[in-house]
Structure 1
Amino acid sequence: MLPARRRRAGTPVTTATRAVAGLVVPAGLVTACAVLPVAAPSPAPSPTPTVLNGPKPTSFAYLRAPRNVGRGDSLIASQRTLVTQLDIPWGVTFLPDGSALVTERAKRRILRVGPGRAASGELTVRPLTSIEGVYANNEGGLLGIAASPRFARDRTVFIYYTTKLDNRIARLRLVGPRPEPEAIVTGIPLAGVHNGGRLAFGPDGYLYASTGDASRAGASQNVANLGGKILRMTTAGRPPPGNPFPGSLVWSYGHRNPEGMAWDASGRMYVAEIGEAMWDELNLIQPGRNYGWPKVQGMGRMAGMTNPLAVWRPEVGVTNGIVVLGHAALITCLRGQRIYLVDLGRPIDFASTRIVGAGTGEASIRWRPAAGVLGRPLAALVGKYGRLRAAIRAPDGSVWLTTSNRDGRNQPVADDDRIIRLTLSPAALPGAVGDAGGTPGPTPSQMPSQMPSPTPSPMPSPMPSPMPSPMSR
């Protein structure tokens, strides 16, 4: 067991290179994504998945990249700055007219961005409202935002914010000169760090929220505590049918500070999570599962814990936002000042215990091929825009990223903070807008009044860990 080592999310830590017993590193996977066509994932995680033949145009394997590709910049088709001079833009949600609402964490404002353009070519920006009672303490403040799937009718958005008492989720009806938030969930633990804060509507029409452990690691393992969890709720803030713990909002637990959520075309939920001093994580979320924190970080071997799909060192990570475009996951990094492009092009077989790794020391990355990660995650935009926070799919199929260079952990330039628009190559298929994270699924009115309970799926086999299991950051 390693001694506990703590660091703040943006504070450099040097981790000595360790020998890894039993780590399998096939030739060709260390420096590039695999080049063979891949099968599409099955509709649900299964030990005997159904395989659909042929690559998908949104799979990186489809590009047949040369084996010496070490970074993913060649997979970006276009990039453009849409907005400049924002102040810590944290959450983004789109409205039916194509405009976006953006939260500014410390200024407590909700901005309306677009759909019009200024003479400079940038999207227009105007303050919409500010939220009273927000306490912007270090990582806290006005955080996530998600528009109601029925926004055209109810004019309602949902916001996640910090007060002096707690983190809370509120609905905000955007009518009148001074909209007032109506709290629907209170008592989420708060601290100067690890507040979580992402909101998104899932394909099932319910509202999901990510919460941090608020620097109280034990809260993550307590299902009666709302800290260190993924929550699932109705628009009234109540547990919907199908939640794994009766009468509880908790969907999954054992998280440290998850801040990115997205779904693929099959309805599988992916979460990007800020870890401790050893590993940041990409997790596939299944209801009722325990994701390990603080007992395990990264790839562990402890019974009952669910392993990540991929992990990387904080020096090249501090993972924050995520978008899924077909079989391509795009993950933003704060400290690492980059994005990772992850090919999710395999059917999922949790029975496999194989771990593949690349890099050493502070540049280490590990992933599980049979759990859906085809090859080494590829870095792109390294250092180009600074700290990258939110990621969301726009209605036109592009990806919007926000920078976070005014949060006190970087040296901002005159244009910071920014919103950047990316498209990946190859682009998502026309008509595929509904299959990526950030795109609302069916509205609650389209859902059955009683949703069936989630279908039980096999527990992932505990993975042999190349590192000692109990770790903290």
Structure 2
Amino acid sequence: MRRPQGSGRRGGTGPNSSSARRHAAAWAACLALLLSGCTGDGSGPPTGSSTSTGTGTSPGGSAQPQVVGQLDLELEIPWSAVFLPDGTAVISERASARLKAVRDGKATTIGQVPGVVPAGEGGLLGLALSPGFAADRYLYLYFTAAGDNRIARVKLEEKTEGSLSFGDPDVIFTGIPKASTHNGGRIRFGPDGFLYVGTGDSQRREQPQDPNALGGKILRLTPDGKPAPGNPYGNAVYSIGHRNVQGLAWDSAGRFWASEFGPDVNDELNLILPGSNYGWPAVTGAPHREGFRDAEVVWPSTADSSPSGLEIAGSTAYLGALRGQRLWTVPLDGENAGTPVAYFTQEYGRIRDVVRTPDGGFWLLTNNQNPDFVVVLAPPR
């Protein structure tokens, strides 16, 4: 069942200060120093999609992702990362509840977020930078508390040159159900200026099909944590029928995509439309059942995927795989998605997040706990 895709104003900010230019130059120099000849082979076990399967050369004849270095930052289960306008990266650590800043290839601890109660898959999870960060300095956090998952924001302030701090979190949204698994956690501002939130079913299978429950949903909020105007159910819910949403991204035309864990089968890449029902727990994948929207790409075996962080550059989606231990690329053509291609299979272990860097490349955040590191990819050619 397809609904017409709405349109929204595209927006964003970019670094334009002298400080930003200095950090951009330092970032470019860092990449040059990190240059190594390491690349993936563009291969892996066969995988499934809603139309076809396979691995091999990159879609559309584009070059395969190129590794230009690795940052050994002694991270402990990093979950999400954002880049500030000056080029500084901020990373969340799930179990320690610490925020870390990365400048010139070195990590320092900004502070530990109070109120986080890590357990199982819960802890300090997604980060999102305010669209108006240059003026308001807000960093948004999704974290597991004593009784629920919630969203807060903190103000990042410069203590001294090159040092950041934050005060007490301002909690703006509460009540997202928590459990040892399926806590969701990805947050991201969309082109319309609203905050989108991926939640999990928290092992409560009755919640995803209930439009008045917060579990198993994608939510859409104002920057102050209120339900965004125009939401299809008159509350915070934007789409229903999700199991555990892990990645959120928009393509160049403003279409909204999300990655999602299946059960033992049918990991998904979905095109998200307001008010659509993605089937869980009644269906998974692309069964063509009336009343449910099919996934655009399906990985029949979660051993090949368990998709997490998601980015889109040009006409290609980039998905990190946890259990699958690889980077997936998926060619996009309007509302259609093509054959997935795997890179770096079992080279770097579990990939939790895929983050676009200021120079147009990517960071891959690993989740191997020994300790974790960042794989740096060159900009796509």
Q: Percent same amino acid among aligned pairs?
A: 42
Residue of 95, 99, 104 corresponding to 2:88: 99
Greater Rg, structure 1 or structure 2? 1
Residue 159 of structure 2 is aligned to residue 170 of structure 1: no
Residue of 368, 372, 377 corresponding to 1:422: 377
Letter in 2 for 1:229: K
Q: Number of paired residues?
A: 326
Structure 1 Cα separation of the partners of residues 344 and 68 of structure 2: 10
Structure 1 Cα separation of the partners of residues 380 and 191 of structure 2: 25
Residue 372 of structure 2 is aligned to residue 373 of structure 1: no
What does residue 122 of structure 2 align with? 140
Residue 363 of structure 2 is aligned to residue 400 of structure 1: yes
Task: State the Cα distance separating 1:263 from its structure 2 match.
Answer: 0.5
Closer, same or farther: CA 425–183 of 1 in aligned 2, 3 Å: closer
Residue 337 of structure 2 is aligned to residue 321 of structure 1: no
Higher relative contact order (CA 8 A, sep 6+): 1
Q: Unpaired segments of 5 or more residues in structure 2?
A: 1-47, 160-164
CA-atom RMSD in angstroms = 1.9
Residue of 252, 256, 262 corresponding to 1:275: 262
Q: Unpaired segments of 5 or more residues in structure 1?
A: 1-19, 34-58, 64-73, 117-122, 349-371, 407-411, 427-473
What does residue 199 of structure 1 align with? 187
Closer, same or farther: CA 424–95 of 1 in aligned 2, 3 Å: closer
Structure 2 Cα separation of the partners of residues 24 and 243 of structure 1: 31
- Say which structure is richer in strand: 2
What does residue 152 of structure 1 align with? 134
Residue of 232, 256, 261 corresponding to 2:248: 261
What does residue 111 of structure 2 align with? 129
Task: State the Cα distance separating 1:241 from its structure 2 match.
Answer: 1.9
TM-score relative to the length of structure 1? 0.66
Closer, same or farther: CA 83–382 of 1 in aligned 2, 3 Å: same
Structure 2 Cα separation of the partners of residues 239 and 276 of structure 1: 29
Task: State the Cα distance separating 1:171 from its structure 2 match.
Answer: 1.2
TM-score relative to the length of structure 2? 0.82
Task: State the Cα distance separating 1:178 from its structure 2 match.
Answer: 5.4
Given that 2:77 and 2:372 are in contact with CA atoms closer than 8 Å, whether structure 1 keeps it comes out as yes
Task: State the Cα distance separating 1:380 from its structure 2 match.
Answer: 0.5
Structure 2 Cα separation of the partners of residues 405 and 137 of structure 1: 17
Task: State the Cα distance separating 1:154 from its structure 2 match.
Answer: 1.1
Aligned to 2:207, the other structure's residue is in SS state helix
Given that 1:334 and 1:387 are in contact with CA atoms closer than 8 Å, whether structure 2 keeps it comes out as yes
Structure 2 Cα separation of the partners of residues 262 and 423 of structure 1: 20
Closer, same or farther: CA 309–214 of 1 in aligned 2, 3 Å: same
Letter in 2 for 1:373: A
Structure 1 Cα separation of the partners of residues 245 and 181 of structure 2: 12
What does residue 68 of structure 2 align with? 79
Given that 1:212 and 1:227 are in contact with CA atoms closer than 8 Å, whether structure 2 keeps it comes out as yes
Structure 1 Cα separation of the partners of residues 115 and 304 of structure 2: 35
Task: State the Cα distance separating 1:185 from its structure 2 match.
Answer: 0.7
Task: Show CA shifts across 1:377-435 (max 9, x none).
Answer: 111000111000011211211111100012xxxxx3xxx30111112542xxxxxxxxx
Task: State the Cα distance separating 1:32 from its structure 2 match.
Answer: 4.4
Closer, same or farther: CA 206–24 of 1 in aligned 2, 3 Å: closer
Structure 2 Cα separation of the partners of residues 221 and 24 of structure 1: 26
Summarize the alignment of residues 197-346 of structure 1 with structure 2, pairs less than 5 Å apart.
Answer: 197-246=185-234, 248-312=235-299, 313-344=301-332, 346=333
Closer, same or farther: CA 425–98 of 1 in aligned 2, 3 Å: closer
Closer, same or farther: CA 150–30 of 1 in aligned 2, 3 Å: closer
Which 10-residue stretch deviates more, 255-264 or 168-177? 168-177
